[in-house]
Structure 1
Protein backbone atom coordinates (compact mmCIF):
# COMPACT_ATOMS: atom_id res chain seq x y z
CA UNK A 1 0.00 0.00 0.00
CA UNK A 2 1.26 3.48 -0.86
CA UNK A 3 0.55 5.99 1.92
CA UNK A 4 0.58 9.22 -0.03
CA UNK A 5 1.90 12.40 1.53
CA UNK A 6 2.57 15.63 -0.38
CA UNK A 7 2.29 18.80 1.69
CA UNK A 8 4.55 21.02 -0.41
CA UNK A 9 7.01 21.18 -3.30
CA UNK A 10 10.33 20.77 -1.51
CA UNK A 11 10.21 18.32 1.43
CA UNK A 12 12.41 15.21 1.22
CA UNK A 13 11.17 13.05 -1.64
CA UNK A 14 10.58 9.34 -0.97
CA UNK A 15 8.48 8.09 -3.90
CA UNK A 16 7.85 9.42 -7.41
CA UNK A 17 6.54 8.46 -10.86
CA UNK A 18 9.13 9.37 -13.51
CA UNK A 19 7.87 9.40 -17.10
CA UNK A 20 9.55 7.41 -19.85
CA UNK A 21 11.03 8.27 -23.25
CA UNK A 22 11.02 4.65 -24.44
CA UNK A 23 9.12 4.05 -27.69
CA UNK A 24 7.79 7.58 -28.09
CA UNK A 25 7.02 7.07 -31.77
CA UNK A 26 7.73 9.21 -34.83
CA UNK A 27 8.17 12.97 -34.78
CA UNK A 28 4.69 14.51 -34.63
CA UNK A 29 3.35 16.69 -37.43
CA UNK A 30 2.88 20.40 -36.74
CA UNK A 31 -0.88 19.75 -36.55
CA UNK A 32 -0.25 17.19 -33.79
CA UNK A 33 1.84 19.55 -31.64
CA UNK A 34 0.25 20.42 -28.30
CA UNK A 35 2.27 23.62 -27.76
CA UNK A 36 4.11 26.31 -29.76
CA UNK A 37 7.60 25.25 -28.67
CA UNK A 38 7.24 21.69 -30.00
CA UNK A 39 5.81 23.14 -33.23
CA UNK A 40 8.86 25.40 -33.58
CA UNK A 41 11.28 22.45 -33.41
CA UNK A 42 9.16 20.25 -35.67
CA UNK A 43 9.21 23.03 -38.26
CA UNK A 44 12.99 23.49 -37.91
CA UNK A 45 13.63 19.75 -38.26
CA UNK A 46 15.34 19.68 -34.85
CA UNK A 47 12.66 17.90 -32.84
CA UNK A 48 14.36 15.74 -30.17
CA UNK A 49 15.34 12.15 -30.94
CA UNK A 50 14.16 9.29 -28.75
CA UNK A 51 17.71 8.09 -28.14
CA UNK A 52 18.76 11.48 -26.71
CA UNK A 53 15.67 11.81 -24.55
CA UNK A 54 16.14 8.29 -23.16
CA UNK A 55 19.68 9.27 -22.07
CA UNK A 56 18.37 12.45 -20.42
CA UNK A 57 15.71 10.58 -18.46
CA UNK A 58 18.23 7.90 -17.45
CA UNK A 59 20.36 10.66 -15.90
CA UNK A 60 17.39 11.82 -13.80
CA UNK A 61 16.59 8.24 -12.78
CA UNK A 62 20.20 7.81 -11.61
CA UNK A 63 20.05 10.96 -9.45
CA UNK A 64 16.75 9.89 -7.85
CA UNK A 65 18.20 6.47 -7.04
CA UNK A 66 21.35 8.06 -5.61
CA UNK A 67 19.05 9.72 -3.03
CA UNK A 68 17.19 6.44 -2.31
CA UNK A 69 13.95 7.63 -3.89
CA UNK A 70 11.49 4.89 -4.89
CA UNK A 71 10.99 5.38 -8.65
CA UNK A 72 7.96 4.07 -10.52
CA UNK A 73 7.77 4.18 -14.34
CA UNK A 74 4.62 4.04 -16.51
CA UNK A 75 3.82 0.82 -18.33
CA UNK A 76 4.98 1.15 -21.90
CA UNK A 77 2.58 2.16 -24.66
CA UNK A 78 4.43 1.67 -27.93
CA UNK A 79 4.90 4.66 -30.23
CA UNK A 80 3.50 7.06 -27.66
CA UNK A 81 4.97 9.99 -25.71
CA UNK A 82 4.85 9.26 -21.95
CA UNK A 83 7.51 11.68 -20.73
CA UNK A 84 5.37 14.20 -18.88
CA UNK A 85 3.86 12.29 -15.98
CA UNK A 86 3.11 15.50 -14.06
CA UNK A 87 0.28 16.36 -16.45
CA UNK A 88 -1.74 13.24 -15.71
CA UNK A 89 -2.19 13.48 -11.97
CA UNK A 90 -1.02 15.03 -8.71
CA UNK A 91 -1.07 14.39 -4.98
CA UNK A 92 -2.26 16.85 -2.35
CA UNK A 93 -1.83 15.66 1.24
CA UNK A 94 -2.90 11.98 1.10
CA UNK A 95 -5.13 12.21 -1.99
CA UNK A 96 -4.32 11.30 -5.59
CA UNK A 97 -6.20 13.43 -8.12
CA UNK A 98 -6.42 12.03 -11.64
CA UNK A 99 -6.09 14.94 -14.04
CA UNK A 100 -8.66 15.73 -16.69
CA UNK A 101 -6.17 16.01 -19.51
CA UNK A 102 -6.42 16.43 -23.26
CA UNK A 103 -8.57 13.47 -24.42
CA UNK A 104 -5.77 12.18 -26.69
CA UNK A 105 -3.67 11.55 -23.59
CA UNK A 106 -6.11 9.43 -21.57
CA UNK A 107 -4.02 6.31 -22.26
CA UNK A 108 -1.22 7.78 -20.15
CA UNK A 109 -3.41 7.40 -17.08
CA UNK A 110 -4.06 3.75 -17.92
CA UNK A 111 -0.29 3.23 -18.01
CA UNK A 112 0.07 4.24 -14.33
CA UNK A 113 -3.06 2.42 -13.15
CA UNK A 114 -0.93 -0.35 -11.61
CA UNK A 115 0.53 2.31 -9.28
CA UNK A 116 -2.86 3.89 -8.52
CA UNK A 117 -4.07 0.38 -7.59
CA UNK A 118 -1.59 0.47 -4.68
CA UNK A 119 -3.36 3.51 -3.18
CA UNK A 120 -6.38 3.32 -0.85
CA UNK A 121 -9.29 3.69 -3.36
CA UNK A 122 -11.04 6.21 -1.09
CA UNK A 123 -8.00 8.45 -1.58
CA UNK A 124 -8.18 8.48 -5.40
CA UNK A 125 -10.47 11.05 -6.98
CA UNK A 126 -11.29 12.50 -10.35
CA UNK A 127 -12.91 15.87 -10.92
CA UNK A 128 -16.06 16.12 -13.07
CA UNK A 129 -15.43 16.08 -16.81
CA UNK A 130 -15.98 19.82 -17.29
CA UNK A 131 -13.27 20.61 -14.72
CA UNK A 132 -10.06 20.73 -16.76
CA UNK A 133 -6.89 20.42 -14.68
CA UNK A 134 -3.30 19.26 -15.13
CA UNK A 135 -0.62 18.66 -12.51
CA UNK A 136 1.75 21.31 -13.88
CA UNK A 137 -0.74 23.95 -12.75
CA UNK A 138 -1.10 22.67 -9.17
CA UNK A 139 1.26 23.43 -6.26
CA UNK A 140 0.71 22.91 -2.53
CA UNK A 141 2.54 25.71 -0.67
CA UNK A 142 2.21 26.05 3.13
CA UNK A 143 -1.56 26.17 3.78
CA UNK A 144 -2.32 27.16 0.18
CA UNK A 145 -2.86 25.34 -3.08
CA UNK A 146 -1.58 27.58 -5.89
CA UNK A 147 -3.28 26.84 -9.23
CA UNK A 148 -2.44 28.25 -12.66
CA UNK A 149 -5.49 28.90 -14.84
CA UNK A 150 -6.75 30.98 -17.75
CA UNK A 151 -9.81 33.10 -17.02
CA UNK A 152 -10.30 34.86 -20.35
CA UNK A 153 -13.37 34.34 -22.54
CA UNK A 154 -11.31 32.81 -25.36
CA UNK A 155 -10.24 29.84 -23.17
CA UNK A 156 -11.67 27.25 -25.64
CA UNK A 157 -9.44 28.61 -28.44
CA UNK A 158 -6.22 27.66 -26.65
CA UNK A 159 -4.87 24.11 -26.62
CA UNK A 160 -2.31 25.65 -24.24
CA UNK A 161 -5.01 26.53 -21.65
CA UNK A 162 -5.12 23.39 -19.53
CA UNK A 163 -6.83 24.29 -16.23
CA UNK A 164 -10.15 26.12 -16.02
CA UNK A 165 -11.89 28.02 -13.21
CA UNK A 166 -14.44 25.24 -12.74
CA UNK A 167 -11.56 23.01 -11.65
CA UNK A 168 -10.19 25.73 -9.36
CA UNK A 169 -13.57 26.02 -7.61
CA UNK A 170 -13.89 22.23 -7.33
CA UNK A 171 -10.43 21.99 -5.76
CA UNK A 172 -11.53 24.39 -3.03
CA UNK A 173 -14.49 22.09 -2.27
CA UNK A 174 -12.29 18.98 -2.17
CA UNK A 175 -9.61 20.58 0.03
CA UNK A 176 -11.56 22.88 2.37
CA UNK A 177 -8.71 23.05 4.88
CA UNK A 178 -6.45 24.76 2.33
CA UNK A 179 -6.74 28.17 0.69
CA UNK A 180 -6.94 27.80 -3.07
CA UNK A 181 -5.29 30.73 -4.86
CA UNK A 182 -5.47 30.91 -8.65
CA UNK A 183 -3.17 32.77 -11.05
CA UNK A 184 -4.24 33.89 -14.52
CA UNK A 185 -1.47 32.82 -16.93
CA UNK A 186 -0.42 34.25 -20.27
CA UNK A 187 -1.24 31.92 -23.18
CA UNK A 188 -0.04 31.87 -26.77
CA UNK A 189 -0.54 29.21 -29.42
CA UNK A 190 2.21 30.66 -31.59
CA UNK A 191 4.97 32.20 -29.44
CA UNK A 192 6.59 29.95 -26.80
CA UNK A 193 8.21 32.97 -25.14
CA UNK A 194 4.73 34.33 -24.41
CA UNK A 195 3.16 31.05 -23.36
CA UNK A 196 3.05 29.84 -19.77
CA UNK A 197 1.73 26.36 -20.53
CA UNK A 198 1.40 25.62 -16.81
CA UNK A 199 2.11 27.50 -13.58
CA UNK A 200 5.44 25.64 -13.28
CA UNK A 201 6.53 27.20 -16.58
CA UNK A 202 6.75 30.62 -14.90
CA UNK A 203 6.98 29.91 -11.17
CA UNK A 204 8.27 27.31 -8.72
CA UNK A 205 9.02 27.21 -4.99
CA UNK A 206 12.50 26.01 -4.04
CA UNK A 207 14.40 25.53 -0.75
CA UNK A 208 12.73 26.54 2.52
CA UNK A 209 11.31 29.92 1.57
CA UNK A 210 12.46 30.80 -1.95
CA UNK A 211 11.04 30.64 -5.48
CA UNK A 212 11.85 31.11 -9.16
CA UNK A 213 9.50 33.45 -11.01
CA UNK A 214 8.92 35.00 -14.46
CA UNK A 215 6.87 38.20 -14.32
CA UNK A 216 5.47 38.10 -17.85
CA UNK A 217 4.00 34.62 -17.35
CA UNK A 218 1.25 36.24 -15.27
CA UNK A 219 -1.56 38.12 -17.02
CA UNK A 220 -2.60 40.00 -13.88
CA UNK A 221 0.08 42.23 -12.39
CA UNK A 222 -1.54 42.15 -8.94
CA UNK A 223 -1.28 38.34 -8.80
CA UNK A 224 2.41 38.51 -9.65
CA UNK A 225 2.85 41.21 -6.95
CA UNK A 226 1.00 39.01 -4.47
CA UNK A 227 3.63 36.28 -4.96
CA UNK A 228 6.48 38.81 -4.66
CA UNK A 229 5.03 39.95 -1.32
CA UNK A 230 4.35 36.37 -0.20
CA UNK A 231 8.01 35.36 -0.66
CA UNK A 232 9.77 38.71 -0.32
CA UNK A 233 11.74 40.10 -3.24
CA UNK A 234 15.07 39.03 -1.70
CA UNK A 235 13.95 35.38 -1.76
CA UNK A 236 13.01 35.32 -5.45
CA UNK A 237 15.06 34.46 -8.52
CA UNK A 238 13.63 36.45 -11.45
CA UNK A 239 13.99 34.86 -14.89
CA UNK A 240 13.68 36.61 -18.25
CA UNK A 241 11.72 35.36 -21.27
CA UNK A 242 14.70 33.45 -22.70
CA UNK A 243 15.23 31.66 -19.39
CA UNK A 244 11.52 30.95 -19.17
CA UNK A 245 11.67 29.58 -22.74
CA UNK A 246 14.51 27.26 -21.64
CA UNK A 247 12.29 26.21 -18.68
CA UNK A 248 14.44 27.56 -15.81
CA UNK A 249 11.45 27.47 -13.46
CA UNK A 250 10.88 23.78 -14.14
CA UNK A 251 13.59 22.19 -12.03
CA UNK A 252 12.70 19.53 -9.44
CA UNK A 253 13.31 19.40 -5.69
CA UNK A 254 14.44 16.18 -4.01
CA UNK A 255 14.66 18.05 -0.69
CA UNK A 256 14.84 21.62 0.62
CA UNK A 257 18.59 21.50 0.07
CA UNK A 258 18.81 19.31 -3.08
CA UNK A 259 17.47 19.99 -6.58
CA UNK A 260 17.83 18.42 -10.01
CA UNK A 261 18.49 21.14 -12.59
CA UNK A 262 19.48 21.39 -16.25
CA UNK A 263 23.25 21.74 -16.64
CA UNK A 264 22.96 24.79 -18.92
CA UNK A 265 21.05 26.87 -16.34
CA UNK A 266 24.30 28.58 -15.31
CA UNK A 267 22.84 31.69 -13.67
CA UNK A 268 20.13 29.80 -11.80
CA UNK A 269 22.41 26.99 -10.61
CA UNK A 270 24.91 29.53 -9.28
CA UNK A 271 22.11 31.27 -7.31
CA UNK A 272 20.86 27.95 -5.92
CA UNK A 273 24.35 27.01 -4.73
CA UNK A 274 24.80 30.49 -3.20
CA UNK A 275 21.68 29.66 -1.17
CA UNK A 276 23.21 26.40 0.11
CA UNK A 277 21.21 24.16 -2.21
CA UNK A 278 23.02 21.17 -3.73
CA UNK A 279 22.45 21.18 -7.50
CA UNK A 280 22.45 17.82 -9.27
CA UNK A 281 23.00 18.86 -12.90
CA UNK A 282 21.62 16.72 -15.72
CA UNK A 283 21.36 17.21 -19.49
CA UNK A 284 17.71 17.92 -20.35
CA UNK A 285 17.87 20.38 -23.25
CA UNK A 286 16.37 17.95 -25.78
CA UNK A 287 13.30 17.19 -23.67
CA UNK A 288 12.86 20.92 -23.03
CA UNK A 289 12.10 21.35 -26.75
CA UNK A 290 8.64 19.95 -25.96
CA UNK A 291 7.93 22.80 -23.50
CA UNK A 292 8.45 20.63 -20.45
CA UNK A 293 11.37 19.91 -18.15
CA UNK A 294 12.14 18.22 -14.85
CA UNK A 295 9.05 19.05 -12.82
CA UNK A 296 6.88 18.10 -15.79
CA UNK A 297 8.49 14.64 -15.99
CA UNK A 298 7.92 13.74 -12.34
CA UNK A 299 4.81 13.00 -10.29
CA UNK A 300 5.73 12.92 -6.56
CA UNK A 301 3.73 10.50 -4.39
CA UNK A 302 5.43 10.68 -1.00
CA UNK A 303 7.53 13.38 0.66
CA UNK A 304 8.49 13.45 4.36
Structure 2
Protein backbone atom coordinates (compact mmCIF):
# COMPACT_ATOMS: atom_id res chain seq x y z
CA UNK A 1 0.00 0.00 0.00
CA UNK A 2 1.05 3.60 -0.63
CA UNK A 3 1.29 5.44 2.69
CA UNK A 4 0.08 8.85 1.49
CA UNK A 5 1.69 11.84 3.17
CA UNK A 6 1.80 15.41 1.84
CA UNK A 7 1.72 18.40 4.19
CA UNK A 8 3.57 20.99 2.10
CA UNK A 9 5.15 21.67 -1.30
CA UNK A 10 8.79 20.96 -0.49
CA UNK A 11 9.46 18.19 2.05
CA UNK A 12 11.63 15.38 0.62
CA UNK A 13 9.70 13.71 -2.18
CA UNK A 14 9.50 9.88 -2.15
CA UNK A 15 6.64 8.93 -4.50
CA UNK A 16 4.99 10.94 -7.29
CA UNK A 17 2.69 10.63 -10.29
CA UNK A 18 4.22 12.19 -13.41
CA UNK A 19 1.85 12.75 -16.33
CA UNK A 20 2.55 11.45 -19.80
CA UNK A 21 2.70 13.05 -23.26
CA UNK A 22 2.46 9.72 -25.09
CA UNK A 23 -0.51 9.38 -27.46
CA UNK A 24 -1.38 12.99 -26.69
CA UNK A 25 -3.67 13.29 -29.70
CA UNK A 26 -3.79 15.85 -32.52
CA UNK A 27 -3.60 19.62 -32.05
CA UNK A 28 -7.00 20.67 -30.66
CA UNK A 29 -9.39 22.82 -32.65
CA UNK A 30 -9.33 26.45 -31.57
CA UNK A 31 -12.86 26.25 -30.17
CA UNK A 32 -11.81 23.30 -28.01
CA UNK A 33 -8.92 25.11 -26.26
CA UNK A 34 -9.28 25.11 -22.46
CA UNK A 35 -7.21 28.26 -21.86
CA UNK A 36 -6.02 31.38 -23.71
CA UNK A 37 -2.36 30.32 -23.94
CA UNK A 38 -3.15 27.07 -25.72
CA UNK A 39 -5.45 29.03 -28.05
CA UNK A 40 -2.62 31.44 -28.85
CA UNK A 41 -0.31 28.63 -30.04
CA UNK A 42 -3.08 26.80 -31.91
CA UNK A 43 -3.73 30.03 -33.82
CA UNK A 44 -0.03 30.56 -34.51
CA UNK A 45 0.44 27.01 -35.76
CA UNK A 46 3.07 26.37 -33.07
CA UNK A 47 1.10 24.17 -30.68
CA UNK A 48 3.52 21.70 -29.05
CA UNK A 49 4.24 18.37 -30.73
CA UNK A 50 3.92 15.08 -28.90
CA UNK A 51 7.49 14.02 -29.67
CA UNK A 52 8.92 17.22 -28.16
CA UNK A 53 6.78 17.01 -25.03
CA UNK A 54 7.76 13.37 -24.47
CA UNK A 55 11.43 14.43 -24.45
CA UNK A 56 10.66 17.19 -21.92
CA UNK A 57 8.76 14.90 -19.56
CA UNK A 58 11.44 12.21 -19.73
CA UNK A 59 13.98 14.84 -18.62
CA UNK A 60 11.91 15.27 -15.43
CA UNK A 61 11.64 11.50 -15.00
CA UNK A 62 15.46 11.35 -15.18
CA UNK A 63 15.78 13.93 -12.39
CA UNK A 64 13.40 11.89 -10.24
CA UNK A 65 15.51 8.80 -10.89
CA UNK A 66 18.65 10.70 -9.87
CA UNK A 67 17.04 11.54 -6.51
CA UNK A 68 15.63 8.04 -5.99
CA UNK A 69 11.97 9.10 -6.24
CA UNK A 70 9.45 6.37 -7.11
CA UNK A 71 7.51 7.49 -10.20
CA UNK A 72 4.06 6.32 -11.30
CA UNK A 73 2.71 7.13 -14.78
CA UNK A 74 -0.92 7.16 -15.94
CA UNK A 75 -2.17 4.29 -18.09
CA UNK A 76 -2.09 5.55 -21.68
CA UNK A 77 -5.46 6.51 -23.19
CA UNK A 78 -5.14 6.74 -26.97
CA UNK A 79 -5.20 10.28 -28.41
CA UNK A 80 -5.90 11.92 -25.05
CA UNK A 81 -4.02 14.66 -23.19
CA UNK A 82 -2.73 13.22 -19.88
CA UNK A 83 0.11 15.64 -19.22
CA UNK A 84 -1.27 17.57 -16.26
CA UNK A 85 -1.62 15.01 -13.48
CA UNK A 86 -1.99 17.71 -10.80
CA UNK A 87 -5.32 18.84 -12.25
CA UNK A 88 -7.06 15.53 -11.72
CA UNK A 89 -6.17 14.70 -8.11
CA UNK A 90 -4.07 15.83 -5.17
CA UNK A 91 -2.98 14.57 -1.77
CA UNK A 92 -3.30 16.39 1.55
CA UNK A 93 -2.01 14.55 4.61
CA UNK A 94 -3.12 10.93 4.01
CA UNK A 95 -6.12 11.69 1.78
CA UNK A 96 -6.18 11.22 -2.01
CA UNK A 97 -8.67 13.76 -3.33
CA UNK A 98 -10.17 13.35 -6.78
CA UNK A 99 -10.63 16.71 -8.43
CA UNK A 100 -13.87 17.83 -10.07
CA UNK A 101 -12.51 18.88 -13.44
CA UNK A 102 -13.84 19.93 -16.83
CA UNK A 103 -16.23 17.27 -18.12
CA UNK A 104 -14.17 16.76 -21.31
CA UNK A 105 -11.24 15.61 -19.18
CA UNK A 106 -13.09 13.25 -16.85
CA UNK A 107 -11.47 10.10 -18.28
CA UNK A 108 -8.04 11.16 -17.01
CA UNK A 109 -8.70 9.97 -13.46
CA UNK A 110 -9.53 6.44 -14.72
CA UNK A 111 -5.96 6.24 -16.00
CA UNK A 112 -4.75 6.38 -12.39
CA UNK A 113 -6.57 3.17 -11.40
CA UNK A 114 -3.23 1.34 -11.32
CA UNK A 115 -2.08 3.83 -8.66
CA UNK A 116 -5.35 3.97 -6.73
CA UNK A 117 -5.49 0.20 -6.18
CA UNK A 118 -2.50 0.73 -3.85
CA UNK A 119 -4.36 3.32 -1.77
CA UNK A 120 -6.71 2.53 1.11
CA UNK A 121 -10.20 3.13 -0.42
CA UNK A 122 -11.26 4.86 2.80
CA UNK A 123 -8.64 7.54 2.04
CA UNK A 124 -9.96 8.32 -1.45
CA UNK A 125 -12.23 11.36 -1.38
CA UNK A 126 -14.63 12.60 -4.05
CA UNK A 127 -16.02 16.13 -3.97
CA UNK A 128 -19.74 16.85 -4.44
CA UNK A 129 -20.60 17.59 -8.07
CA UNK A 130 -21.24 21.30 -7.51
CA UNK A 131 -17.88 21.78 -5.77
CA UNK A 132 -15.36 22.37 -8.57
CA UNK A 133 -11.68 21.97 -7.72
CA UNK A 134 -8.35 21.29 -9.45
CA UNK A 135 -5.05 20.42 -7.82
CA UNK A 136 -3.20 23.40 -9.28
CA UNK A 137 -5.29 25.62 -7.00
CA UNK A 138 -4.53 23.69 -3.79
CA UNK A 139 -1.36 24.05 -1.71
CA UNK A 140 -0.94 22.52 1.74
CA UNK A 141 1.43 24.55 3.90
CA UNK A 142 1.68 23.13 7.40
CA UNK A 143 -1.33 24.37 9.38
CA UNK A 144 -2.67 26.12 6.27
CA UNK A 145 -4.18 25.08 2.96
CA UNK A 146 -3.85 27.85 0.39
CA UNK A 147 -6.55 27.71 -2.30
CA UNK A 148 -6.86 29.71 -5.50
CA UNK A 149 -10.45 30.41 -6.51
CA UNK A 150 -12.66 32.98 -8.20
CA UNK A 151 -15.32 34.78 -6.15
CA UNK A 152 -17.20 36.46 -9.00
CA UNK A 153 -20.84 35.72 -9.77
CA UNK A 154 -19.76 35.32 -13.41
CA UNK A 155 -17.68 32.25 -12.41
CA UNK A 156 -19.46 30.00 -14.90
CA UNK A 157 -18.55 32.28 -17.82
CA UNK A 158 -14.82 31.62 -17.29
CA UNK A 159 -13.45 28.34 -18.63
CA UNK A 160 -10.31 29.46 -16.78
CA UNK A 161 -12.08 29.47 -13.37
CA UNK A 162 -11.53 25.94 -12.08
CA UNK A 163 -12.10 26.07 -8.31
CA UNK A 164 -15.20 27.58 -6.73
CA UNK A 165 -16.12 28.66 -3.23
CA UNK A 166 -18.26 25.54 -2.67
CA UNK A 167 -15.05 23.54 -3.01
CA UNK A 168 -13.19 25.84 -0.62
CA UNK A 169 -15.91 25.28 2.00
CA UNK A 170 -15.90 21.51 1.41
CA UNK A 171 -12.13 21.40 1.79
CA UNK A 172 -12.47 23.19 5.13
CA UNK A 173 -14.99 20.56 6.27
CA UNK A 174 -12.54 17.77 5.30
CA UNK A 175 -9.70 19.37 7.25
CA UNK A 176 -11.31 21.13 10.23
CA UNK A 177 -7.96 21.47 12.02
CA UNK A 178 -6.38 23.45 9.18
CA UNK A 179 -6.86 27.06 8.15
CA UNK A 180 -8.14 27.08 4.57
CA UNK A 181 -7.12 30.43 3.08
CA UNK A 182 -8.64 31.36 -0.29
CA UNK A 183 -7.29 33.80 -2.86
CA UNK A 184 -9.35 35.45 -5.60
CA UNK A 185 -7.40 35.04 -8.85
CA UNK A 186 -7.41 37.13 -12.01
CA UNK A 187 -9.11 35.29 -14.88
CA UNK A 188 -9.19 35.86 -18.61
CA UNK A 189 -10.55 33.55 -21.30
CA UNK A 190 -8.73 35.46 -24.03
CA UNK A 191 -5.46 37.06 -22.79
CA UNK A 192 -2.91 34.62 -21.39
CA UNK A 193 -0.79 37.32 -19.71
CA UNK A 194 -3.86 38.39 -17.71
CA UNK A 195 -4.88 34.89 -16.65
CA UNK A 196 -3.87 33.06 -13.47
CA UNK A 197 -5.33 29.69 -14.42
CA UNK A 198 -4.47 28.17 -11.03
CA UNK A 199 -2.86 29.45 -7.84
CA UNK A 200 0.44 27.82 -8.88
CA UNK A 201 0.44 30.04 -11.98
CA UNK A 202 1.07 33.12 -9.81
CA UNK A 203 2.42 31.80 -6.49
CA UNK A 204 4.34 28.92 -4.99
CA UNK A 205 6.03 28.36 -1.62
CA UNK A 206 9.49 26.78 -1.67
CA UNK A 207 11.79 25.51 1.09
CA UNK A 208 13.31 27.71 3.82
CA UNK A 209 10.28 29.99 4.15
CA UNK A 210 10.47 31.60 0.72
CA UNK A 211 8.00 31.90 -2.14
CA UNK A 212 7.63 32.94 -5.77
CA UNK A 213 4.77 35.36 -6.40
CA UNK A 214 3.16 37.57 -9.06
CA UNK A 215 1.24 40.50 -7.65
CA UNK A 216 -1.16 40.98 -10.56
CA UNK A 217 -2.32 37.36 -10.43
CA UNK A 218 -4.39 38.36 -7.39
CA UNK A 219 -7.59 40.38 -7.75
CA UNK A 220 -7.63 41.56 -4.14
CA UNK A 221 -4.60 43.58 -3.01
CA UNK A 222 -5.10 42.61 0.65
CA UNK A 223 -4.91 38.90 -0.17
CA UNK A 224 -1.67 39.36 -2.10
CA UNK A 225 -0.34 41.51 0.77
CA UNK A 226 -1.30 38.83 3.30
CA UNK A 227 1.02 36.37 1.54
CA UNK A 228 3.86 38.90 1.33
CA UNK A 229 3.49 39.62 5.06
CA UNK A 230 3.21 35.90 5.86
CA UNK A 231 6.49 35.04 4.12
CA UNK A 232 8.23 38.41 4.61
CA UNK A 233 8.97 40.70 1.68
CA UNK A 234 12.65 39.74 1.61
CA UNK A 235 11.65 36.08 1.15
CA UNK A 236 9.38 36.72 -1.85
CA UNK A 237 10.71 36.48 -5.40
CA UNK A 238 8.42 38.72 -7.43
CA UNK A 239 7.94 37.70 -11.04
CA UNK A 240 6.89 39.97 -13.89
CA UNK A 241 3.80 39.54 -16.06
CA UNK A 242 5.96 38.00 -18.80
CA UNK A 243 7.57 35.63 -16.28
CA UNK A 244 4.15 34.59 -15.04
CA UNK A 245 3.09 33.98 -18.66
CA UNK A 246 6.15 31.76 -19.03
CA UNK A 247 5.18 29.94 -15.80
CA UNK A 248 8.10 30.93 -13.55
CA UNK A 249 6.07 30.21 -10.41
CA UNK A 250 5.23 26.71 -11.63
CA UNK A 251 8.48 24.98 -10.68
CA UNK A 252 8.64 21.85 -8.51
CA UNK A 253 10.46 21.08 -5.25
CA UNK A 254 12.00 17.67 -4.64
CA UNK A 255 13.11 18.83 -1.20
CA UNK A 256 13.70 22.04 0.76
CA UNK A 257 16.99 22.42 -1.09
CA UNK A 258 16.40 20.89 -4.54
CA UNK A 259 14.13 22.47 -7.15
CA UNK A 260 13.36 21.41 -10.72
CA UNK A 261 13.08 24.51 -12.90
CA UNK A 262 12.82 25.37 -16.60
CA UNK A 263 16.24 26.05 -18.12
CA UNK A 264 15.16 29.40 -19.62
CA UNK A 265 14.16 30.89 -16.25
CA UNK A 266 17.50 32.70 -15.97
CA UNK A 267 16.57 35.36 -13.42
CA UNK A 268 14.70 32.93 -11.16
CA UNK A 269 17.33 30.19 -11.36
CA UNK A 270 20.10 32.66 -10.53
CA UNK A 271 18.17 33.90 -7.48
CA UNK A 272 17.50 30.33 -6.34
CA UNK A 273 21.19 29.41 -6.57
CA UNK A 274 22.23 32.63 -4.82
CA UNK A 275 19.94 31.57 -1.96
CA UNK A 276 21.50 28.12 -1.65
CA UNK A 277 19.10 25.92 -3.65
CA UNK A 278 20.26 23.20 -6.01
CA UNK A 279 18.50 23.89 -9.33
CA UNK A 280 17.92 20.96 -11.67
CA UNK A 281 17.23 22.61 -15.03
CA UNK A 282 15.07 20.85 -17.62
CA UNK A 283 13.59 21.90 -20.98
CA UNK A 284 9.84 22.47 -20.54
CA UNK A 285 9.06 25.35 -22.90
CA UNK A 286 6.85 23.27 -25.18
CA UNK A 287 4.68 22.02 -22.33
CA UNK A 288 4.36 25.61 -21.05
CA UNK A 289 2.45 26.47 -24.25
CA UNK A 290 -0.55 24.70 -22.66
CA UNK A 291 -0.51 27.07 -19.66
CA UNK A 292 1.05 24.57 -17.28
CA UNK A 293 4.53 23.62 -16.19
CA UNK A 294 6.40 21.46 -13.69
CA UNK A 295 4.00 21.58 -10.76
CA UNK A 296 1.04 20.94 -13.05
CA UNK A 297 2.55 17.75 -14.48
CA UNK A 298 3.47 16.21 -11.11
CA UNK A 299 1.26 14.96 -8.30
CA UNK A 300 3.13 14.05 -5.10
CA UNK A 301 1.87 11.04 -3.16
CA UNK A 302 4.50 10.74 -0.42
CA UNK A 303 6.78 13.34 1.09
CA UNK A 304 8.77 12.86 4.31
TM-score by length of 1: 1.00
Q: 1:152-188, CA deviations, whole angstroms, 9 ceiling, x for partnerless residues?
A: 0110000000000000000000001100000000000
1:238 equivalent in structure 2: 238
1:65 and 2:87 equivalent? Answer: no
Q: Give 1:113 deviation, angstroms.
A: 1.4
CA distance in 1, matches of 2:79, 2:196: 27
CA distance in 2, matches of 1:6, 1:58: 24
Q: Distance in 1 between matches of 2:4 and 2:208?
A: 21
Tell me, in whole angstroms, the C-alpha distance in 2 between the residues paired with 1:117 and 1:183. 34
Is residue 250 of structure 1 aligned with residue 247 of structure 2? no
Give the Cα separation in 2 of the matches to 1:7 and 1:186: 26
The CA deviation string for residues 210-253 of structure 1, in whole angstroms up to 9 with x for no partner, is 00000000000000000000000000000010000000000000
Aligned equivalents of 2:211 and 2:113: distance in 1?
Answer: 32
**CA apart distance, 1:117:** 1.4
TM-score by structure 2 length? Answer: 1.00
After the TM superposition, which parts of structure 1 deviate over 2 Å for at least 4 consecutive aligned residues? none
Q: Secondary structure, in 3 states, of the residue corresponding to 1:41?
A: helix
Aligned to 1:299: 299
RMSD of the TM alignment (CA)? 0.4
User: Once the two structures are superposed, what CA deviation does each residue of 1:258-299 show, in whole Å capped at 9, x if it has no partner?
Assistant: 000000000000000011100000000000000000000000
- Superposed displacement of residue 62, structure 1: 0.2
Other-structure match for 1:109: 109
SS of aligned partner of 2:114: helix
Please tell me whether residue 135 in structure 1 is matched to residue 127 in structure 2: no
Q: CA deviation at 1:190?
A: 0.4
Alignment correspondent of 2:2: 2
Report the counterpart of residue 167 of structure 1 in structure 2: 167
Question: Where do residues 47-86 of structure 1 align in structure 2 (5 Å cutoff)?
Answer: 47-86=47-86
Task: Give the aligned length.
Answer: 304
Equivalent in the alignment of 2:270: 270
Give the superposition deviation at 1:207.
1.5
Cα distance in 2, alignment partners of residues 48 and 95 from structure 1: 34
Give the distance between the partners of 2:220 and 2:117, measured in 1 at CA. 40
The 5 Å alignment of 1:190-269 reads: 190-269=190-269
